[in-house]
Amino acid sequence: MDFTIIIEALPLLLKATLVTIGLALVSIVIALILGFFTALARISKMKLLKIIGTIYVSMFRGTPLLVQIFVIYFGLPQINISLDPIPSGILALSLNAGAYLSESFRASILAVEKGQMEAAVSMGMTYGEAMRRIILPQSIRIAIPTLSNTYIILIKDTSLVSVITVTELLQMSTLIIAKTFEPLTIYLVAAVLYWIVITFFTVILDRFEKRTSRHLA
């Protein structure tokens, strides 16, 4: 292994790592919002909302992410919806993760004891107040481990958008290898960078979980 290659490639790889982190962060934020409202739709009493939520989850969990990326980036232009590579990537990643997150949210809302809702409404809270003040704060704690898992997978899945020419970490590695012919070195460096990013977020989310569990003596 040639260390000078690593040193030369590192600035570009680090820059691409920022793109990867950016993709993951923007996508997870959209996915959280999407997942949250889909979860509410799926536990609501309104049939239409329920059906829409169920179809969305089924579609995006039931098909490969790569196919979703291709449909959005290569397919949609055919009906005159052309998105640039990065928006296409973010759209696919957040729709995909949102479907998974809605399932964790739904399960974690249902996991809060029935007595909690009863206690809240028996005092005279509305359904919305009870959800916001009593149910959701408890379900977030329950959801964190699976949320954490989904986020880790999302970070790794950003590598898939390299196929639509987004210059994130994996795409950048491939470009550098085309010039240096050092696949082992460069891909290993890329792997280490992914590992550092994921470990960083895992530690933060673990701390968050501990913080939200303080009240459980």
Partner 1 sequence: MEVIKLQNIKKSFNENIVLKDINLTVNKSEVVVIMGPSGSGKSTLLRCVTFLEEPDGGIIKLGEQEVTAGSQMNKQRKNDIRKLRQNTGFVFQQFNLFPHKTALENVMEGPMIIKKIAREKAKQKAITLLKKVGLADRMDHYPAQLSGGQQQRVAIARALSMEPMVMLYDEPTSALDPELVREVLQVMKELAKEGMTMIVVTHEMAFAKDAADRVIFMDDGLIIEEGSSYEIFNNPKEDRTKRFLQDVSEEIVLE
Q: How far is the CB of 118 from partner 1 (least distance, A)?
A: 6
Region of 52-60, 98-106, 121-129, 161-169 interacting with partner 1 (CB under 8 A) = 121-129
Q: Does 119 bind partner 1 (CB under 8 A)?
A: yes
Cα angle: 131, vertex 137, 140; to 5 degrees = 110
Q: Does 128 bind partner 1 (CB under 8 A)?
A: no
Q: Does 116 bind partner 1 (CB under 8 A)?
A: yes
Q: Does 133 bind partner 1 (CB under 8 A)?
A: yes
CA dist., res. 59 & res. 161, Å (int): 19
Q: How far is the CB of 133 from partner 1 (least distance, A)?
A: 6
Rounded CA Rg of the chain: 21
Q: How far is the CB of 115 from partner 1 (least distance, A)?
A: 4
CA dist., res. 52 & res. 84, Å (int): 27
Contacts of 103 (CB under 8 A, 6+ apart): 39, 57, 61
CA dist., res. 105 & res. 140, Å (int): 8
Q: Does 110 bind partner 1 (CB under 8 A)?
A: no
Q: How many amino acids of this chain bind partner 1 (CB under 8 A)?
A: 22
From 61, 51, 128, select the one nearest 101 (Cα to Cα). 61
Q: Quick one: 120 or 176, whose CB is closer to partner 1?
A: 120
Q: Does 209 bind partner 1 (CB under 8 A)?
A: no
Largest CA distance in the chain: 70
**Interface residue with partner 1, options 63, 82, 126, 199 (CB under 8 A):** 126
CA dist., res. 113 & res. 91, Å (int): 35
Q: Quick one: 11 or 124, whose CB is closer to partner 1?
A: 124
Interface with partner 1 (CB under 8 A): 113, 115-116, 118-126, 129, 133-134, 137-138, 141, 214-217
